Structure 1
Amino acid sequence: MNSSHSKIFSSLRKSLPSDEIRLEPALLEKYAGDKWFASRIPDAVALPRSTESVAKLLKFATKNQIPVTPRGAGFGYVGGCVPVQGGIVLSLERMNRIKEIHEDDFVAEVEPGVITQKLQDAVEKKGLFYPPDPASRADCSIGGNIATNAGGPRCLKYGVTRDYVLGLEVVLADGSVVKLGSRTHKNKTGFDFSRLFVGSEGMLGVVTQATLKLIPLPPYRACLAIGFAAMKEAIKTLRTILHTGFLPCALEVADAFTLAAARQRTRSKRLNGCNAHLIVELDGQEASVRREIQILLKVVKSQNPLFIEKGLGPDQCEAIWKIRREFSYSLRDTGLTKLNQDIVVPRGRLEDLFRFTAGLQKKHGFPVACFGHAGDGNIHVNVMVDLDQPDATKRCNAALDELFRQVLDWNGVITGEHGIGLAKKPWWPLATSPAVRELHSRIKRALDPAGILNPGKFV
């Protein structure tokens, strides 16, 4: 850090509590990136405890033209919180209070640093339910979920994070604080600004409090795990389930490479010869779920699967989901680098997608592992790369380019959950029209005219 920077941050520290601006080299390195491969050591890390501190910090940063990169728990997969221009990383982790859970209003008031699973556990003790369930829910924060509009398996039935945001407190780039939305479950008072900030990846403002919608907790769950000899049979069964009139709370699929890795890790004999796998979960009142799971069982048996495993109640359901939670770890066990692409295709294109990724694997020489949220077409296409091979990065980018172009040709999208960040920035112009990019830029200029918030990303 040069002397001018040192003077600037010394001035900032005078206006904030002494431990809220940190300059220690080891700490700076800790906040240099997320789960993606890029990193940049910031000049300072801010760890505020209050909206007032965030407001002072952003006002100071705008006045002094200092880049500020907001950050949740750092569990993103696209480099969204990499401070590419240095400056200050603004971590909201200390603002981690659940301020209120109102059982009659079905509302939670939380700070952005609250861990998602902590909120879910707290509301479920009161018979309430916060459905969004990203895979990293034990580690990721509500603020990060809002910044990326996180989803998860249950979004098939219940929707994603934006569907549960009733109101937000946001600090804008100039330090002004705005309170958006309300704590009511319906509101048409002016523009829906709360949703503008959901999925904005820290480029429009900093969320310091969220009012979240809760719903009644379904009292019972039941699951089926189903194995198939071929992916074509799994997709046919998926279609049959939905066309029979079921709306599962989750409907997950996995391909042969993923299952082979999981079999190696878990030693599961059941997965022998299994080249495709579905998990279907129903929830609701116990009597109705027990009845529906029996009907669903008959529907699935008519498709001649290799096996069906039934789980009734939370313990048996969690035992079924345990293998799903092993998929990412199993792929890491291969020793290859997993490049996770959260593409989404129209549901009718799922079979085409799996056929295409098989061809992609043969053409470019990389294993491709696909699993994820089949019910809404959001499949995690994992290109498995040995980065020590010559030209691995170049070949990998060619494979990704081909994948994204095909997904867009099918009227799909290049990201359903993770965001654009840095990882997908090269394909942002491909995924959007010039008019749409200009609209993003106009909104960015209106809310952050100095361009200090998360600079260097897609807007």
Structure 2
Amino acid sequence: MVAELLSSKIGASKVSLRAEDISVHATDKWYASHPPDVVVFPETTADVSTVLEFAHRYGIPVTTRGAGVGYVGGCVPIKGGIALSLARMNRILELNPEDGVAVVQPGVITGDLQKAAQALGWDYPPDPASLKECSIGGNIATNAGGPRCLKYGVTRSYVLGLEVVMPDGKVAQVGGRVHKNKTGFDLVGLFTGSEGMLGVVTAASLRLIPKPPARAMLAAVFPDFPMAAAAVQGILNSGHLPSALEITDGFTLAAARRRLGPERLPDGDAHLIIEIDGRPRAVDYEIDELEELLKKLGATRIQRAEDEDSCEEIWKMRREFSYSLRDTGLTKLNEDIVVPRSKLVELVAFARQLEKDTGIAVACFGHAGDGNIHTNLMVADYENPEIRSKADAALDRLFKWVLDHGGAITGEHGVGIAKQPWIRQALGENTFNLHKAIKGALDPDAILNPGKFLD
């Protein structure tokens, strides 16, 4: 009945009960799964408005989906109802270097926007690891980051304005297309990172910046993790601000050597990647200075890249780290925790102790410059209820340690379902209640993305 009514309102080609569509929209890259009752593919803001007005009238749950590459079950339709896929709303509406603005629909793939901007000599800096497949709408929903956010910031830093369809179907315009705007509350910030629980973004005005004309990279191997972590502080304390600063631990390197070969990653228990960009002469000078600094800080091998192709080779190697962990045959519980940079060594020491205590291997790598270290619990036979319970207990220890040391339980992926058990501890009771109050004010019938961390 719901499918028939929606078909009559927005067209049958936009409404699906096909088993394949139901299956695809039941899950993301996390293990949780629940089928929607119907999948809807809106193509315009008016379509979205019609669907939400209908859902609001009849109290039907709506779970919005971008590209479905999240790691926390954020787009899993736990309560069934309507899975609202924005995949067909995938047009770049405007690229305007004169204003430094791009206007896009939410289904635009992040990497496609980057390529389009770079073809004009401009750039959209946010660069999640999944940029070739993730969507702008999903990035906004989670306030996604990436390696370059050390220098350039996360998604929120580039969202100037949003068109948002509210739970009752009304359309709101928040922010705008100018680079400075202090008119009213920061509603752009409210919706960015709201994980589809407050409204549905149907268009975004995004900030573009001039593309730096040159970049260069260094990949350095260190004897141990503390030396690599000290090098992170040494680089920043020396006045350098790399565009990316990535660190990797020994467990991950061992897995990468098995996949890539030892010649790509010589012996050493830690790995550091440094990327810089800017004007060509400045980059040439800084890369020399950084190479000498890394030698003083104890690097045993340094690979240098000074053009686009060689830089991409290093990033290709970095992207292989995650696949190397998958090659182990273990289930990778990918936790995107954040700690103060000064706690990097303590975090890895805690991970090694957690490994000894539980027998669960722990692999750490990620964005050292901002303390966002992907701490991966590598679990054998995760489908076994007893082992899953043991892994959950290990996660509980990890999150409690992170919070006790001034960190955060998520820096990029969001809360979704995966981190739901820890949200009250992470936010505190008063802040949790503030979230509930905002949700209640904007979505009083709780139809948008129900079953997630506020339930």
Q: Tell me which residue corresponds to 2:70.
A: 76
Q: CA deviation at 1:26?
A: 2.2
1:413-424 mapped onto 2 (5 Å cutoff): 413-424=408-419
Contact 2:141 2:191 survives alignment (8 Å): yes
Contact 2:51 2:169 survives alignment (8 Å): yes
Q: CA deviation at 1:234?
A: 0.4
Q: Tell me which residue corresponds to 1:175.
A: 169
Q: Take 2:352 and 2:273, find their aligned partners in 1: how far apart are those partners? A: 22
Q: Tell me which residue corresponds to 2:293.
A: 299
1:254 aligns with 2:252: no
Q: Tell me which residue corresponds to 2:190.
A: 196
Structure 1 counterpart SS, 2:43: coil
Count of matched residue pairs: 453
Amino acid at match of 1:129: D
1:232-243 mapped onto 2 (5 Å cutoff): 232-243=226-237
Q: Tell me which residue corresponds to 2:439.
A: 444
Structure 2 counterpart SS, 1:343: coil
Which deviations, in whole Å up to 9, do the C-alpha atoms of 1:30-59 show, x marking residues without a partner? Answer: 110100000001100010000000000000
Q: Take 1:433 and 1:119, find their aligned partners in 2: how far apart are those partners? A: 37
Structure 2 counterpart SS, 1:452: coil
Which deviations, in whole Å up to 9, do the C-alpha atoms of 1:44-83 show, x marking residues without a partner? Answer: 0010000000000000000000000001000000000000
Q: Tell me which residue corresponds to 1:4.
A: none
Q: Take 1:107 and 1:26, find their aligned partners in 2: how far apart are those partners? A: 37
Q: Take 2:164 and 2:417, find their aligned partners in 1: how far apart are those partners? A: 24
Q: Take 1:171 and 1:457, find their aligned partners in 2: how far apart are those partners? A: 20
1:129 aligns with 2:130: no
1:455 corresponds, among 447, 450, 453, to: 450
Q: CA deviation at 1:164?
A: 0.1
Amino acid at match of 2:327: D
Contact 2:221 2:266 survives alignment (8 Å): no
Amino acid at match of 1:82: V
Q: Take 1:157 and 1:228, find their aligned partners in 2: how far apart are those partners? A: 24
Q: Take 1:255 and 1:373, find their aligned partners in 2: how far apart are those partners? A: 12
Structure 2 counterpart SS, 1:211: strand
Q: Take 2:260 and 2:400, find their aligned partners in 1: how far apart are those partners? A: 35
Amino acid at match of 2:448: L
Structure 1 counterpart SS, 2:13: coil
- Please give the root-mean-square deviation of Cα atoms over the aligned residues, in Å: 0.9
Q: CA deviation at 1:304?
A: 2.4
1:328 aligns with 2:322: yes
1:365 corresponds, among 339, 359, 363, to: 359
Amino acid at match of 1:408: L
2:110 corresponds, among 93, 116, 136, to: 116
Q: Tell me which residue corresponds to 1:409.
A: 404
1:159 aligns with 2:119: no
Q: CA deviation at 1:271?
A: 2.1
Which deviations, in whole Å up to 9, do the C-alpha atoms of 1:315-363 show, x marking residues without a partner? Answer: 1111111210101110000000000000000111111111111111111
Q: Take 2:83 and 2:365, find their aligned partners in 1: how far apart are those partners? A: 33
Q: Tell me which residue corresponds to 1:215.
A: 209
Q: Tell me which residue corresponds to 2:304.
A: 310
Structure 2 counterpart SS, 1:391: helix
The farther-off stretch of 428-437 and 365-374 is: 428-437
Contact 2:3 2:16 survives alignment (8 Å): no
Q: Take 1:233 and 1:17, find their aligned partners in 2: how far apart are those partners? A: 61
1:99 aligns with 2:93: yes
TM-score with structure 1 setting the length: 0.98
Amino acid at match of 2:123: F
5+ residue gaps, structure 1: 1-6
Structure 2 counterpart SS, 1:430: helix
Amino acid at match of 2:61: P
Amino acid at match of 2:420: K
Q: Take 2:153 and 2:427, find their aligned partners in 1: how far apart are those partners? A: 24
Q: CA deviation at 1:236?
A: 1.1
1:356 corresponds, among 347, 350, 353, to: 350
Which deviations, in whole Å up to 9, do the C-alpha atoms of 1:240-275 show, x marking residues without a partner? Answer: 101000000000000001001110001132423221
Structure 2 counterpart SS, 1:19: helix
Structure 2 counterpart SS, 1:384: strand
Which deviations, in whole Å up to 9, do the C-alpha atoms of 1:376-400 show, x marking residues without a partner? Answer: 0000000000126672101101110
Q: Tell me which residue corresponds to 1:244.
A: 238
2:395 corresponds, among 387, 393, 400, to: 400
The farther-off stretch of 187-196 and 11-20 is: 11-20
Q: Take 2:38 and 2:82, find their aligned partners in 1: how far apart are those partners? A: 5
The farther-off stretch of 222-231 and 13-22 is: 13-22
2:266 corresponds, among 235, 258, 272, to: 272
1:30-41 mapped onto 2 (5 Å cutoff): 30-41=24-35
1:18 aligns with 2:12: yes
1:289 aligns with 2:277: no
2:257 corresponds, among 231, 254, 263, to: 263
Q: CA deviation at 1:222?
A: 0.6
Q: Take 1:348 and 1:22, find their aligned partners in 2: how far apart are those partners? A: 51
> Percent same amino acid among aligned pairs?
56
Amino acid at match of 2:4: S
Q: Take 1:83 and 1:379, find their aligned partners in 2: how far apart are those partners? A: 29
Q: Take 2:218 and 2:370, find their aligned partners in 1: how far apart are those partners? A: 18
